Amino acid sequence: MKRPIDNSIGLFLFGQTPYTLSMSKIDWLEVSERIDWLKKPTVAGDYSFHKPVSIQWFADGELNVSYNCVDRHLPQHANEVALIWEPDNPAEASKKITYAELSIQVNRFANVLKKQGVKKGDRVTLYLPMIVEAVYAMLACTRIGAVHSVVFAGFSADSIANRIEDCDSNIVITADEGLRGGKKIELKKNIDEALELLSAKGKNSVSKVVVVKRTGADIAWTSQVDVWYHEESAQVSDVCAPEPMKAEDPLFILYTSGSTGKPKGVLHTTGGYLVYAAYTHEKVFGYRAGEVYWCTADVGWITGHSYIVYGPLANRATTLVFEGIPSYPDVSRFWQVIDKHQVNIFYTAPTAIRALMREGEEPVKKFSRKSLRLLGSVGEPINPEAWSWYQRVVGDGRCPVVDTWWQTETGGILISACASEDGTTYPEVLKPGAATRPLAGIYPEILDTEGKILTGAAEGLLVIKESWPGQMRTVYRDHARFEETYFSAFAGYYFTGDGCRRDADGDYWITGRVDDVLNISGHRLGTAEVESAFVSDARVSEAAVVGYPHDIKGQGIYAYITLKNGVTPTEELKAELRQHVRHVIGPIATPDIIQWAPGLPKTRSGKIMRRILRKIAENQIESLGDTSTLADPSVVKDLVENRSNK
């Protein structure tokens, strides 16, 4: 997929040299003024999407992120609520944290980290449930210039170990246990196991584990390493000067799955990311002072970073942090929380909407939801049926629904309907399932597989032709992988990995990933990761994993497994392998369907033809396409006959 040189497009040659955005319609320097700089930048974007790829924004500016999210609101608004925390169990008390209180807590946490030896530039791994301390810890890192790497609390010890090792963290912040849907998650135990795995390899860089007490469970304790957060924080001051940071200093690393190999560390930097998170939070949600804003994501994902923590707090919003799940203690939980805290803006994922839609209207109608003004969707394509239900039932037909398309790599929303300039209205006609239009300052193109730009109504591959401030800067410690993954398919463009259709009105419809990345309930997973988890079981000889359409999850995991000679294929073995993959990666990777495959369809050069496996998993056996190039076409017949998705 190389883009041919085409001078008629103009941009190819033009794009070879780094240039600033003076020619674009948005003045990013002006946008950057929405945040407080210690030293104002004089340059906006300076970037090249050609190798060597380099991306910089506001490079001569200096700032501190925690100052922007907390301190600058204090003179006038100290007593406004920054965080509302709603616990997993509705019988437990919720919390309201003002900006004044947030300031004290963030300063304390920053001092605890300093006392434990964390220095500017150090990587700190967070493995926390959805508790206020997660927000404190993230902001505390930014206060002292440490780089956080938040690992979703649903990931296994193996997954944490890999992430700690990749970024060489010296400190881990966790909790004794997490609570979700009434179930306890043994977070500290998982950290202990991860550190053991690392020690066994001689790769344990962690000197301290800071433990927040959430459930009070009895946990194993290593006194040279483990410290209780509540004990340490009682001993430090609540004043910690914010560290001046350069705009391009690293802010955080967030691991995400790609189509090959292990998850990559997406690196975001300080100035551009914050400007973009704040800018998009305002443009898309039209946030007005005093409103209660609720994004149901987890801080372990980019949505939690940009739209629970950084965007809302930079904009002095009241942001709700929810520990629980939509179905506990019952399927009215979301709507109950909306009434309880008078939520105005609600931002969730299609998978949750589909699951709740299945429960009918009654659990929704039990609550008034009168406070709602706007509904948002994120994480995966939203099917028109779910969109319409969301709009008609949850929003009573009066709230606009914005479908926001973006990625871990983009830092913030790139395509979505936006509020009007005065923040009061949305486009009258919003199409169910369309992400609609790019935000001001975002320039997408749709290309065919040859790299030709498709104009007008068209379907193809989604690329972005110019940088924006929230764009990732590199893969942590692997710039070559960054260039290879995003900038080699089509020279001069950022390749998103998504397919896209643009309709005659110019609205964009995201059709889903075109690479080997799965989107399971809005969670991103690489097929290669799941396959390597399977083959780490000694009984498995080969594994091939594909996605298939799933009513609730959007996509489910379908695995074709070849066992080693002499191993008997049984239902018990399927259950064990399912459990094994959960253990290696985490519950989000639980395979839905396992099919025994005596052989896999391979080309003569040994490459697995996933196209065929996808069609079988989708039960579209009429359209398997040409199988004559396979080394052994007869394997297909067996797979079709024994498919599990009939």
Q: Which stretch binds ligand PRX (CB under 6 A): 168-176, 197-205, 284-292, 377-385?
A: 377-385
Q: Which stretch binds ligand PRX (CB under 6 A): 55-63, 72-80, 86-94, 374-382?
A: 374-382
Q: Which stretch binds ligand PRX (CB under 6 A): 57-65, 139-147, 506-514, 527-535?
A: 506-514
Q: Which stretch binds ligand PRX (CB under 6 A): 66-74, 376-384, 390-398, 577-585?
A: 376-384
Detail the DSSP E strand segments found in 17-89: 45-48, 54-57, 62-63, 81-86
Q: Which residues of 324-359 are buried (b: 16+ CB within 10 A; e: fewer)?
A: bbbbbeebbbbbbbbbebebbbbbbbbbbbbbbbee
- Residue of the chain from 352, 378, 442, 624 that contacts ligand PRX (CB under 6 A): 378
CB of 274 to ligand PRX, least distance (A): 17
CB of 199 to ligand PRX, least distance (A): 31
Contact 217, 177 (CB under 8 A): yes
CB of 413 to ligand PRX, least distance (A): 8
Sheet holding 250-256, edge to edge: 226-228, 208-212, 171-175, 123-127, 147-150, 250-256, 264-269, 474-475
The two tokens of residue 562 are 């070849």
Q: Per residue, what are the HEC states of 202-225?
A: CCCCCCEEEEECCCCCCCCCCCCC
**H or E element in which residue 440 lies:** none
Q: Which is nearer to ligand PRX, 179 or 277 (CB)?
A: 277
Q: Which is nearer to ligand PRX, 249 or 380 (CB)?
A: 380
CA distance 236 to 222: 22
CB of 377 to ligand PRX, least distance (A): 6
Residue 502, classed as helix, strand or coil, is strand
Residues 172-211, mask of contacts with ligand PRX (x by CB under 6 A): ----------------------------------------
Q: Which is nearer to ligand PRX, 381 or 601 (CB)?
A: 381
CA distance 387 to 346: 14
Q: Per residue, what are the HEC states of 72-97?
A: HHHHHHCCCEEEEEECCCCCCCCEEE
Q: Which is nearer to ligand PRX, 169 or 496 (CB)?
A: 496
With CB atoms as reference, the residue minimizing the distance to ligand PRX is: 408
379 forms part of the interface with ligand PRX (CB under 6 A): yes
- Residue of the chain from 107, 256, 270, 474 that contacts ligand PRX (CB under 6 A): 256
CB of 403 to ligand PRX, least distance (A): 5
CA distance 347 to 31: 24
CA distance 563 to 377: 41
**CB atoms closer than 10 angstroms to residue 622:** 6
Q: Which is nearer to ligand PRX, 254 or 624 (CB)?
A: 254
113 forms part of the interface with ligand PRX (CB under 6 A): no
CB of 543 to ligand PRX, least distance (A): 23
Q: Which is nearer to ligand PRX, 212 or 308 (CB)?
A: 308
**CB atoms closer than 10 angstroms to residue 440:** 12
Burial class (CB in 10 A: 0-12, 13-18, 19+), 504: exposed
CB of 380 to ligand PRX, least distance (A): 5
CB of 15 to ligand PRX, least distance (A): 23
263 forms part of the interface with ligand PRX (CB under 6 A): no
Q: Which is nearer to ligand PRX, 206 or 434 (CB)?
A: 434
380 forms part of the interface with ligand PRX (CB under 6 A): yes
Interactions with ligand PRX, residue window 477-496 (CB under 6 A): 496
**CB atoms closer than 10 angstroms to residue 621:** 15
Q: Which stretch binds ligand PRX (CB under 6 A): 79-87, 159-167, 397-405, 566-574?
A: 397-405
CA distance 544 to 564: 15
Burial class (CB in 10 A: 0-12, 13-18, 19+), 28: buried
Question: Which CB contacts under 8 angstroms, 24+ apart, belong to 94-103?
Answer: 94/340, 94/341, 95/132, 97/132, 99/70, 99/73, 99/74, 99/316, 100/74, 102/70, 102/135, 102/136, 102/139, 102/313, 103/70, 103/71, 103/74, 103/78, 103/238
Dihedral pair phi/psi, residue 179, rounded to 5°: -130, 125
- Residue of the chain from 226, 243, 403, 466 that contacts ligand PRX (CB under 6 A): 403
Contact 561, 543 (CB under 8 A): yes
Residues 432-461, mask of contacts with ligand PRX (x by CB under 6 A): ---x--------------------------
Q: Which is nearer to ligand PRX, 341 or 473 (CB)?
A: 473
- Residue of the chain from 497, 526, 547, 556 that contacts ligand PRX (CB under 6 A): 497
Q: Which stretch binds ligand PRX (CB under 6 A): 134-142, 400-408, 463-471, 480-488?
A: 400-408
The two tokens of residue 197 are 């795995």
Q: Which of 12, 9, 14, 19 is nearest to 490 (CA)?
A: 12
CB of 629 to ligand PRX, least distance (A): 29
CB of 556 to ligand PRX, least distance (A): 16
Q: Residue 127 pairs with which residues in a beta bridge?
A: 174
Residue 617, classed as helix, strand or coil, is helix
CB of 510 to ligand PRX, least distance (A): 4
CA distance 483 to 267: 13
Q: Contacts with ligand PRX: how many residues (CB under 6 A)?
A: 22
Interactions with ligand PRX, residue window 405-424 (CB under 6 A): 405-408
- Residue of the chain from 324, 376, 381, 460 that contacts ligand PRX (CB under 6 A): 381
Q: Which stretch binds ligand PRX (CB under 6 A): 231-239, 357-365, 379-387, 542-550?
A: 379-387
Q: Which is nearer to ligand PRX, 442 or 510 (CB)?
A: 510
Q: Which is nearer to ligand PRX, 12 or 301 (CB)?
A: 301
CA distance 520 to 257: 12
Residues 287-306, mask of contacts with ligand PRX (x by CB under 6 A): ---------------xx---
- Residue of the chain from 169, 280, 404, 474 that contacts ligand PRX (CB under 6 A): 404
Residue 107, classed as helix, strand or coil, is helix
CB of 257 to ligand PRX, least distance (A): 8
CB of 454 to ligand PRX, least distance (A): 19
CB of 481 to ligand PRX, least distance (A): 16
What does the binding site for ligand PRX look like in residue numbers (CB under 6 A)? 256, 302-303, 378-381, 403-408, 435, 496-498, 510, 512-513, 519, 524
